[in-house]
Amino acid sequence: MEPQNHQIPPTQNPPPPPSFSAKVAEQVKSNLVFKSKWAELNGAMGDLGTYIPIVVALTLSRDLNLGTTLIFTGVYNIITGAIYGVPMPVQPMKAIAATALANPDFGVPEIMASGILTGGTMVVLGVTGLMQLVYKLIPLCVVRGIQLAQGLSFALTAVKYIKKVQNLPKSKALGERHWLGLDGLVLAIVCLGFIVLVNGAGEEGQEGHTDHVGPRGDEEERPSRKARWRKKITSLPSAFLIFLLGVILAFVRNPKVVHEISFGPSSMEVVKISRHAWKEGFVKGAIPQLPLSILNSVIAVCKLSSDLFPERDFSATSLSVTVGLMNVVGPWFGAMPSCHGAGGLAGQYKFGGRSGACVALLGAAKLVLGLVLGTSLVTILNHFPVGVLGVLLLFAGIELAMCARDMNTKEESFVMLICTAVSLVGSSAALGFAVGMVVYLLLWLRKLGTDKPDSVMSMDA
């Protein structure tokens, strides 16, 4: 046999690894992919039940620059959507807003000082790793207590919005809401029923989508007419349709609002903050806001994100830093201090938000509205049916409260419910957290030295 000449193929250099910028661009592109266009659009409406009442009240009562707030929060929405790849919400800081609405002397400079001080503290907690340490040490049952309290608080506020006529600038109820009318009880009840019919009690796809089996056990190729109608109904963007109805009714309730709209962005200028404003902002704004930001904007959001998106890795450090950075920039120009929130995440998830595209879409809408209409948008939102906002807020609250259903033992439920009760009655998440931690530690100490296995109440919870 003649020897065969084997040609050695020329060596090929392996392709160079992608650059850091290419990896970042690919990750951002992946995070902003629409899982479902209508579902993501619908999910974007899930956080408006908390966002609109707060910004409208502060704009009308404290002269908040709504246009600047929309521009900055729109940018925040787009950036957080690109970073996290989930519907990470951007909400007004509620403790600061509550202080401003309750205290006439707490104006724009004090609001902005509160946000800057809170944001700076959150950045420090994140960069030093202290936030991640706190996240690891807090037991799940205490976090669930905070989430349950926040969810029930949203739900109770929503029922008030639905049941009673509201003066948003003064945050006061003006009496019982009439049954009929463009902001009546019947309208709210119909909207509520429509959302239940479309979305059900859980996420889409869980109900009514079982395979259709023929008489011989094989799957039918075509679903029944009933199944097709059910699929059409459950695919409707319920929250988006409800919000669109509210916008139309706002114009119908006051047609003259068209003449009150002015086009163009609001003037943006640096807020002058006096020494007195820094002091008031720290004492009355930042101190009450910090516990809420740590617990609800970072710890609870991190836990909830891991529950809803177990395939993704969420860091308390990164959440703390993004909350902080949002507030060391925007408030200098008059934008409302903002944070993440477990209630907003639950609401957007409830209505179909599954990717960063959901909040990026909302951010783009805010950005356009801020640039085109500016603060004059408040004339429209002021006539938006409050009962309809209450319906959206109700479902966001219930979705957040339902996270507490994974407490499997009596001890866990006991700690969670005590934490919830104290948070609700005392109107303080920090107080509920403190009491919950004390009760948790007492139960843990009580079990030391007993023969019972301690699989639940462990310090590694």
Inform me whether the pLDDT recorded for 224 exceeds 90.
no
Q: What pLDDT sits at residue 232? A: 77
pLDDT band at 216 (very low <50, low <70, confident <90, very high): very low
Q: What pLDDT sits at residue 219? A: 46
Which residue matches tokens 């007419």? 225
Bridge partners (DSSP) of residue 167 are: 172
Question: Could you tell me the pTM of the whole model?
Answer: 0.83
Q: What pLDDT sits at residue 203? A: 56
Q: Is 217 left (phi over 0), alpha (psi -120 to 50) or beta?
A: left
Query: Cα 448 from chain centroid?
Result: 39
Cα–Cα distance for residue pair 13/129, rounded to 1 Å: 41
Give residue 294's identity as a one-letter amino acid code. I
Inform me whether the pLDDT recorded for 75 exceeds 80.
yes
User: What tokens does 366 get?
Assistant: 């805010």
Residues 415, 370 contacting (CB under 8 angstroms)? no
Inform me whether the pLDDT recorded for 146 exceeds 50.
yes
Closest CA to 343 of 146, 159, 59: 146
Closest CA to 157 of 348, 393, 341: 393
Question: What is the maximal distance between C-alpha atoms in the chain?
Answer: 105
Of the listed ranges 106-110, 136-140, 204-208, 435-439, the least confidently predicted one is: 204-208
Cα–Cα distance for residue pair 102/61, rounded to 1 Å: 10
* Percentage of the chain modeled with pLDDT above 90: 56
Mean pLDDT of the chain: 87
pLDDT digits (tens, 9 = 90+) for 25-61: 888 888 999 888 888 999 999 888 889 989 988 998 8
Q: What pLDDT sits at residue 3? A: 56
Mean pLDDT of the 233-258 span: 90
Cα–Cα distance for residue pair 309/292, rounded to 1 Å: 23
